Amino acid sequence: MADNNKLRIGTRGSPLALTQTGHVVEKLKELHPILRGKGMTEMVVIKTTGDRVQNQLLASIGGKGLFTKELDEAMLRDEIDIAIHSMKDMPTFIPEGILLHAIMKREDPRDAFISNKAASFKDLPQGATLGTASLRRKAQILNQRPDLKVVPFRGNVDTRLRKLNDGEADATLLAYAGLKRLGKGDVATSAIEIEDLLPAVGQGILAATCREGDKRAHALLAPLGDAETVSAALAERAMLAVLDGSCQTPIGGFAQMNGTGNLVLRGNIARPDGAEIAEIEISGPVAEAEQLGKKAADQLLLKAAPSIIEAIKSDQSYIIRPHPEMESPENLTKNVNDNAEN
């Protein structure tokens, strides 16, 4: 903690990251009057490797650790006190000395379909072009529309919308939560229901990290947590941790409470080309969220046809090739199933 008790909040510099972090800072001020004083909070913008490298797919240069490594390092050097992340962009591994402390109430977990050619991806013309850098979205869409041509789309929300308007694709997909937080929810042509496109693990959730042992940061962040979202995140991330330990593959996962008070978890893994997909749905007590996630992963691996696993292993574009700027990819890049930011 800084000597003057200023709370230093680390964030990436994209418009979405700054907007999301700004919302969290305002919530912290609302909860803690001591932070309302002049100079009591400071947003520290940290450019990550993932922000700098825009011409390669994440899965080919090191995955999601590219968007968290510099924030983690700044925290361990005591340059920031907390960091705000989109949970779907966080690796399942959290570095030693850092605590994933506040998991906030989930926004809309669905993906948004954006196009001026069709109302949904199901209505796109035969052979239309879909822009996305997400392995998960690509596999699930091609599973239902193998005729579509998928081209890489990276960059922040505005960049991808510009590419779409410039005619680089007939449609694109973005996280609906991000659009809503930016005040651009009306950009979406439609929201894709979870039954048609399973979200990324943690999609729609903001999370805050802090240093272990930083009692002040712990106390400030504690009220931000949402119990129901915490349970869902625990189940989803436990499933992902097991799956990522065995293969790098397009993975979808979403957990929510049902009417009886149990936690229902859906998950899937797919061939990179979408030709085959394995899906499961299980439920269990909220208190056993992590066990539920591990059980789901085990069932998925048993259910997945050998051809899915073999296709993943043989698809060289999905093997992690750490970017030179990543010093410790083995510790920070265990989750590569989706493109960061949106």
Task: Tell me the CA distances in angstroms from 219 to 61, 87, 132, one per residue in order.
Answer: 37, 21, 39
Alpha helices in the chain (DSSP H): 15-31, 49-52, 58-61, 69-76, 135-144, 157-165, 176-181, 215-221, 227-244, 289-303, 306-314, 329-332
Q: Please state the φ and ψ torsions of residue 282, each to the nearest 5 degrees.
A: -135, 165
Q: Is 89 in the active site?
A: yes
Of the candidates 89, 108, 111, 170, the residue annotated as catalytic is 89
24 and 105 in contact (C-beta within 8 Å)?
no
Cα distance between residue 76 and residue 115, in whole Å: 43
231 and 263 in contact (C-beta within 8 Å)?
yes
43 and 24 in contact (C-beta within 8 Å)?
no
Task: Tell me the CA distances in angstroms from 64 to 102, 164, 330, one per residue in order.
Answer: 19, 24, 12
Cβ-based burial of 183 (10 A; exposed 0-12, middle 13-18, buried ≥19): exposed
Bridge partners (DSSP) listed for residue 281: 266
Bridge partners (DSSP) listed for residue 8: 42
Cα distance between residue 272 and residue 78, in whole Å: 40
To the nearest 10 degrees (0 to 180), the angle between helices 289-303 and 227-244 is 40
Cα distance between residue 21 and residue 326, in whole Å: 25
Active site residues: 89
